[in-house]
Structure 1
Amino acid sequence: MMPFPMMGKSIPVEALLESGMDVATKKRMADVALNTAKSMGATYADARIGRYLNQYVFTREDKVQNVVNTESFGIGIRVIADGTWGFASTNNVNPEGIKKATEQAIAIAKANARIQKEPVKLAPVKGHGEVSWKTPIEKDFKDVPVSEKVDLLLKANAAAMENGANFVNSALFMVNEQKYFASTEGSYIDQDVHRIWPTFGVTAIDRSAGKFKSRQALSAPMGMGYEYMNGLASEKVEGPAGITLYRNSYDIVEDATLAAKQAKEMLSAKSVEPGKYDLVLEPNHLGLTIHESVGHPLELDRVLGYEANYAGTSFATLDKWKSGDFQYGSKIVNLVADKTQPGSLGAVGYDDEGVKCKKWDLVRNGILVNYQAIRDQVHMIDQKESHGCCYSQSWNDVQFQRMPNVSLEPGTEKYSARDMIKDVEKGIYIAGRGSYSIDQQRYNFQFGGTVFYEIKNGEIAGMLNDVAYQSNTQEFWNSCTKICDENDYRLFGSFFDGKGQPSQVSAVSHGSSTTRFNGVNVINTGRNV
């Protein structure tokens, strides 16, 4: 995870509503880059014209802390010359500025070619012509007055304070990526991408005991418009222990109210006894575990060692995949990558090198079957088609392989979270994400959570504190014994996931239903060792 990037220059809020450069002009500007690159000997070139709009609203208790509106606009040009990549960018989106940036990209490629050992090999992609894609939103955040957003956050803060919180902060993160991609292969792709993330943290204090407890929001960042904030009852799932869980609509006031009550309850909850437990993990929690123990280790560039200096390598090495029988998880574990999943953060029509997005298997019936790879990588795993998971955080950064949505398929039999609780004799129900630690090979790990409840003889027996579980990736996923059906399926999201040098952030979702893992080691994080 990365700090929140405030990308672009500050602009007046009304500037968010300006239409920006029209598609016909974008095509003309992109063609300047493509034609210049070809005239200088490039065998391939692509141009990305991007307008990135951000609005972030921050509050605390009864005060507005900040409202941030930013815009970033420019063009990035990527070329292959002498068998080598070159990249340059400019915010001078006019023929003169674009020609100069393209010449720079060519010069960089030719300089790099002197030390390039093997020429770049691109998987073929058929040109798409002029096409467009847009996040299917009902309400654009830019059309909603800032005052309405502030009022909603302050209402949530007030609800938390009225129900026992001593401190509360809340925030709304809203992003609109207006991206235009063109390549020498004949693609001209216009995309309009929207994302939203409402979140908060509440803290309750027991001054006499000198203790405090905090509870974070159970919201998930989504690839949706402002309609996500509607709080529709039809999109709520009533989970164990009276927890309301949210799917495609979020009620921040309701969640803040419950959060304050739970934070107070934590102050007197008992501390967990270390030992082996059956864990019942709800999707907002399990999504982070999927992200770290499946999403990252199955990125091909990490597997090949390209990320070793920054974020490590992967235990899921090529020999395990080539064997065809590496048991990543139990037979009911099916993990898929999907850039088309509706409502997800990673959903787009085409990736940032013009590949139409799709869904593919990573783990099928527990067996490792594939990785995540882009056009210049797939030949390394004897495949001929990019997976369509290339992304750049802005026009100013080169695109590279990024994690798509990676999700656990739901169970096929009708089975609810309440049914699962009834089937557990000694266990812990964990909701929401918390602190975590995982090694550089994404193998040995420790995960906490937001709220924890003890399960005894098929019933919730009360709240717990100081819970974290330890395992390794293969042992953990092989302990998976039951998955709830699709009615329980929900998304977790990471709004600012970091990777690369220079570092970039991306947004990605992970879906699952409530899932049980048997015999997992639980430690007490509140005791001195």
Structure 2
Amino acid sequence: MPHTIDEAFTALPLRALADAALARARALGAEHADFRLERVRGASLRLRDARPAGASDTIDLGYAVRVVHGGSWGFASGVDLTMDAAAKVASQAVEMAKLSARVIEAAGPDARAARSASSDGRWRETGGRVELADEPVHADRTWISSYEIDPFSVPQEDRAGLLAEWSAGLLAADGVSHVDASLLAFHENKFYADTAGTVTTQQRVRVHPQLTAVAVDEASGEFDSMRTLAPPVGRGWEYLTGTGWDWAGELAEIPEHLAEKMRAPSVRAGSYDLVVDPSNLWLTIHESIGHATELDRALGYEAAYAGTSFATFDQLGKLRYGSELMNVTGDRTAEHGLATIGYDDEGVAAQSWDLIKDGTLVGYQLDRRIARLTGFERSNGCAFADSPSHVPVQRMANVSLQPDPGGLSTEDLISGVDRGIYVVGDRSWSIDMQRYNFQFTGQRFYRIENGRLAGQLRDVAYQATTTDFWGSMTAVGGPQTYVLGGAFNCGKAQPGQVASVSHGCPSALFKGVNILNTTEEAGR
């Protein structure tokens, strides 16, 4: 049955509060104003060895007003759901814009120039003024994410009971000493209106179940762990009961995988061909492509906190990012994607577009201000705030490597490797501030000999530069290997914000990648 927007949300005075705030902003001379009211319900549940270890269930409710006044940004937020309070918040936003303008004026002409020119001539002359790319008006639009069962409609005892049942099953297996289980769930409602006439109401649901089995060798003191590969998704409770993932199958395999990992030999460092499973490759995409193609980062706006990007704006259309098999899209429309929306936090409709085409950088992720500043006709809908008290910032879309329509299966990719390693599952990672030099580990590593898997290895990390790694990709798996991975905890901005994002990819083959032995690298 199709869902409707939660009545408890629509019963709030959404339009009246927006009208009061936007009218005040107009009266005070704002060139642009937008109003955003959100209710975000989040729940967490944790079990340790099948026993409760923690739980929370919180609601964040409030609204924000953002303005452009005198060519400067202003922002303020509030929680008092009255018309007078909403108008006051709009006044505070305008005052903040006036203060910002004075600060910029005092900084002198270099600050006001706002980097208005570049060697390729694509920068627009703004004189330091905030200007937004045009966006069609979207009046009275409603969007609801794709899910079946709202996780908050399931009693807490039923949620805990399923995790306890799964945990007990793992604990009963030989070699499993401890089990950690967790479930994160979110139900997000958002109302947006702006002075151009766009009005949107949206509802999103997402869940992340996870179990980790731990083995301890009492004689040696050695220990290791094995985590489920099931990614977080834009689905509801149905995800935990068999829709979209085979939980019974995966949980049944974990004890054997963990036991094999405990007795596996340490890898010999060197050059290997890699077949990388989607359960690992999604994170490499996130770090080396997703963040690198955020245009605010590439322009230096994140330099004080999270770094910059080697994929600078002057290389658009020129940079050879990887092999000709590499086709990467930014996508706010993918079904069940964590970054999937109907409209972003600037009223921009969701889109899908090319970031890398045939190995060449052809696009970036944009919000309305960055799009206007750099000569793009339109934003591609990448503005997001993680709470009603935070200002929208440019955030990542679902960034995905596209499969080869006629590509091989994972098994066939492995069969073409004489000496290599098959990488499964994500674990730790490290990447430099320009998203260029990196290393990644994983959950499981299998030695490949003469086209066959020959047992697990331990202490493996693959290391490369971004362009060398993606340039070494010699085969991309078919649609049958494609999986939408992702994370709930992508961080950015100051003050820090957290966003959920998905990354789809097939299995892929990479030639001659440098493999480190992590134990040796640690000096042990």
Answer whether TM exceeds 0.5 for this pair: yes
Correspondence for 1:13: none
Residue 107 (structure 1) aligned with residue 74 (structure 2): no
Report the Cα offset of residue 325 of structure 1.
2.7
Report the Cα offset of residue 496 of structure 1.
1.2
Correspondence for 2:211: 200
SS in structure 2 at match of 1:434: strand
Residue 288 (structure 1) aligned with residue 283 (structure 2): yes
Q: Distance in 1 between matches of 2:515 and 2:40?
A: 43
Correspondence for 2:125: none
| Aligned equivalent of 1:262, options 244, 257, 267 | 257
Correspondence for 1:356: 349
Give yes or no for contact 1:279–1:428 (8 Å, CA) kept in 2: yes
* Cα-to-partner distance string for 1:443-493 (whole Å, 9 max, x where unaligned): 000100011100000000001100001000000000011111111110111
Residues 1:158 and 1:254: Cα distance change in structure 2 (over 3 Å): farther
SS in structure 1 at match of 2:103: coil
Give yes or no for contact 2:272–2:514 (8 Å, CA) kept in 1: yes
Paired letter, 2:475? K
Give yes or no for contact 2:9–2:189 (8 Å, CA) kept in 1: no
Report the Cα offset of residue 20 of structure 1.
2.5
Give yes or no for contact 1:213–1:264 (8 Å, CA) kept in 2: no
| Aligned equivalent of 2:166, options 153, 156, 159 | 156
| Aligned equivalent of 2:475, options 475, 482, 498 | 482
Q: How many residue pairs end up in the alignment?
A: 495
Residue 182 (structure 1) aligned with residue 182 (structure 2): no
Give yes or no for contact 1:125–1:185 (8 Å, CA) kept in 2: no
Correspondence for 2:221: 210
Paired letter, 2:192? F
| Aligned equivalent of 1:390, options 375, 383, 388 | 383
Paired letter, 1:228? Y
Give yes or no for contact 2:267–2:459 (8 Å, CA) kept in 1: yes
Paired letter, 1:141? P
Report the Cα offset of residue 381 of structure 1.
2.9
Q: What pairs with 1:57-136 in structure 2 (closer than 5 Å)?
A: 57-116=45-104, 117=112, 118-136=128-146
Report the Cα offset of residue 105 of structure 1.
0.5
Q: Distance in 2 between matches of 1:31 and 1:310?
A: 36
| Aligned equivalent of 1:33, options 21, 44, 48 | 21
Paired letter, 1:298? T
Q: Distance in 1 between matches of 2:50 and 2:182?
A: 13
* Cα-to-partner distance string for 1:12-49 (whole Å, 9 max, x where unaligned): xxxxx984242672111111111110011111100000
Q: Distance in 1 between matches of 2:238 and 2:300?
A: 41
SS in structure 2 at match of 1:448: strand
Paired letter, 2:142? S
Correspondence for 2:399: 406
Give yes or no for contact 2:488–2:500 (8 Å, CA) kept in 1: yes
Q: What pairs with 1:373-388 in structure 2 (closer than 5 Å)?
A: 373-388=366-381
Q: Distance in 2 between matches of 1:267 and 1:137?
A: 38
TM-score, normalised on structure 1? 0.92
Paired letter, 1:197? H
* Cα-to-partner distance string for 1:219-243 (whole Å, 9 max, x where unaligned): 10001111111225xxxxxxxxxxx
Q: Which runs of 5+ in 1 are unaligned?
A: 1-16, 233-247
Paired letter, 2:298? V
* Cα-to-partner distance string for 1:267-316 (whole Å, 9 max, x where unaligned): 11111111111111111100000000000011111111111111111111
Q: What pairs with 1:209-248 in structure 2 (closer than 5 Å)?
A: 209-232=220-243, 248=244
TM-score, normalised on structure 2? 0.92
Residues 1:447 and 1:20: Cα distance change in structure 2 (over 3 Å): same
Give yes or no for contact 1:480–1:516 (8 Å, CA) kept in 2: yes
Percentage of matched positions with identical amino acids: 40
Correspondence for 1:466: 459
Q: Distance in 2 between matches of 1:59 and 1:510?
A: 28
| Aligned equivalent of 2:449, options 446, 456, 472 | 456
| Aligned equivalent of 2:306, options 295, 303, 311 | 311
After TM superposition, where is structure 1 displaced by more than 6 Å over at least 4 residues in a row?
none
Give yes or no for contact 1:165–1:204 (8 Å, CA) kept in 2: yes
Correspondence for 1:5: none
RMSD: 1.4
Correspondence for 2:120: none
SS in structure 2 at match of 1:435: strand
SS in structure 1 at match of 2:404: coil
Q: Distance in 2 between matches of 1:76 and 1:284?
A: 37
Q: Distance in 2 between matches of 1:326 and 1:21?
A: 46
Paired letter, 1:296? H
Paired letter, 2:35? A
| Aligned equivalent of 1:271, options 250, 257, 266 | 266
SS in structure 1 at match of 2:162: helix
Give yes or no for contact 1:172–1:198 (8 Å, CA) kept in 2: yes
* Cα-to-partner distance string for 1:426-455 (whole Å, 9 max, x where unaligned): 110111101111001110001000111000
Q: Distance in 1 between matches of 2:246 and 2:158?
A: 16
Report the Cα offset of residue 198 of structure 1.
0.4
Give yes or no for contact 1:23–1:190 (8 Å, CA) kept in 2: no
SS in structure 2 at match of 1:273: coil
Q: Distance in 2 between matches of 1:24 and 1:507?
A: 26
Q: Which runs of 5+ in 2 are unaligned?
A: 105-111, 113-127
Give yes or no for contact 2:337–2:502 (8 Å, CA) kept in 1: yes
* Cα-to-partner distance string for 1:191-214 (whole Å, 9 max, x where unaligned): 001110001221101111220011
Report the Cα offset of residue 188 of structure 1.
1.0
Q: Distance in 2 between matches of 1:51 and 1:482?
A: 44
SS in structure 1 at match of 2:8: coil
Q: Distance in 1 between matches of 2:415 and 2:196?
A: 57
Correspondence for 2:183: 172
Residue 249 (structure 1) aligned with residue 245 (structure 2): yes
Q: Distance in 1 between matches of 2:289 and 2:331?
A: 14
SS in structure 2 at match of 1:352: coil
Give yes or no for contact 2:279–2:426 (8 Å, CA) kept in 1: yes
Q: Distance in 1 between matches of 2:449 and 2:40?
A: 50
Q: Distance in 2 between matches of 1:319 and 1:258?
A: 49
Report the Cα offset of residue 111 of structure 1.
1.0
